[in-house]
Amino acid sequence: MTDLDFTQVELQQLITHHIGNKLKEEKYSLSNETTVVKAETKDFLLKYFLNMLKAEEVYSFTHPVQLYQNDVFAAAESIFNDPANFIEASQNLAKLLYEYSVHPKIAEGELNVAFFSNTIFDGKNMDAIGVFKSEKNVPFLKMKNQKSRFVIDHDFGFEIDRIDKGCVIFKTQKIDGYRVLIIDNASRAEEAKYWKDDFLKVKPIANEFHQTNQFLSITKDYVTKKFSEEFDASKTDKIDLLNRSVDYFKTHDSFDKKEFEKEVLQDTGIIKSFRNFDQNYRSANNIDLEDAFDISHHAVKKQARVFKSVLKLDKNFHIYIHGNRELIEQGVDKDGRKFYKIYFEKET
């Protein structure tokens, strides 16, 4: 996992622009001067910008033709080369984001562009640029003591522990499109893609988190979509294969595809079916994975949440299956009623 440390970070410059939804004919408003931040507010602002960043999935800028044609990359390069370009580059970013704000569900909001120093990324001290969009303006209460009584009022603002969209661009690996961390608290619907895919145009770095996350996603898709279709597998069989897949990643520090196939898939027919599915999946989704890599246990923990191990029987029972497939049997009695027989040693 990439080393990330903001304990000594300093906010050198900040500017705020307002971005509307172009489709709704809302306007944008550009600032010509940097934003004033009170000294006592700066720590709260840094927490708002940076606390949600995780150095797990790391990205870099990309472009189908030439990297310098990626407009966000070009703006970042301009600022890194000469901080005097900060205001103009930030305005270019604001206008660019406005051009991509064309989905009806994209909310208007404030775009903050920040220039940081003393960020630690991958063990090195470097400058960084933050681009953050705040959309959800929520009410909050203010309680003021006025002599013999309190007065309760309200105002509107942004929650410190939740920023809507953001990215931090680190001044490293320029030739490969820098290194970028992303925040996006929107839903996974189509309208959410405009931030990462349309505006930023980034691709994931093939680190251990990405490799682990992607292979587990492929496995889950295979088991839930193709495995039962080709082998007439029961829900119990699917849950068992999902559990074995996750257990492999939980109990190994490194991944080897042939070893995975032997220990988890086991059957030669299933192995052949999985290889075909894996190859087609990677091709269709433009995914480049190694057949051997170090396992990220952060990615395993994240993916394990969506690997369903629950067998739902009508509305009466839920059976959680965590272990030995041979301890559960499925059948039909003489009256045609379906049943499961479960073996166990003791109640806990």
Which residues in the chain belong to E strands, given as ranges?
4-5, 10-19, 59-61, 109-121, 124-134, 138-146, 149-157, 165-170, 179-184, 202-204, 254-256, 292-294, 310-313, 317-320, 328-332, 338-342
Q: Which positions ≥6 away from 311 have C-beta within 8 Å?
A: 235, 236, 239, 318, 319, 320, 321, 340
pLDDT at 229: 80
Cβ-contact 287, 214 below 8 angstroms = yes
Q: In 3-state terms, what secondary structure has residue 107?
A: coil
pLDDT in tens, 91-103: 999 999 999 999 8
Of 120, 171, 123, 116, residue with least CA distance to 6: 120
H/E stretch holding 72 reads: helix 71-81
Estimate the crossing angle of helix 235-251 against helix 297-304, to 10 degrees: 160
Half-sphere exposure of 325 (CA within 13 A, CB side): 14
Q: In 3-state terms, what secondary structure has residue 247?
A: helix
> Does the pLDDT of residue 310 top 50, yes or no?
no
Cβ-contact 144, 121 below 8 angstroms = no
> Does the pLDDT of residue 224 top 50, yes or no?
yes
pLDDT in tens, 311-339: 455 555 555 555 555 656 666 667 777 66
Block residue for tokens 């909050």? 140
pLDDT at 343: 61
CA–CA gap between residue 223 and residue 209 (Å, rounded)? 21
* pLDDT tier for residue 49 given thresholds of 50, 70 and 90: very high
Q: Residue 192 corresponds to which tokens in the numbers above?
A: 């959410």
pLDDT in tens, 52-108: 898 888 999 999 999 999 999 999 999 999 999 999 999 999 999 999 999 888 999
**DSSP one-letter code for 290:** -
pLDDT at 61: 97
Cβ-contact 148, 112 below 8 angstroms = no
pLDDT at 313: 54
> Does the pLDDT of residue 188 top 60, yes or no?
no
pLDDT in tens, 230-259: 887 777 777 788 888 888 999 999 999 999
pLDDT at 192: 65
Average the pLDDT over 213-234 and give the result.
85
Average the pLDDT over 263-284 and give the result.
92
Q: What string of DSSP letters covers 160-209?
A: TT--SEEEEEESS-GGGT-EEEEEE-S-SSGGGHIIIIIII-EEE---HH
> Is the model more confident about 306 or about 213?
213
Average pLDDT, the chain: 87
For a pLDDT cut of 90, what percent of the chain falls above it? 55
Block residue for tokens 């394990």? 304
pLDDT at 327: 59
CA–CA gap between residue 182 and residue 111 (Å, rounded)? 15
Average the pLDDT over 137-163 and give the result.
88
> Does the pLDDT of residue 154 top 70, yes or no?
yes
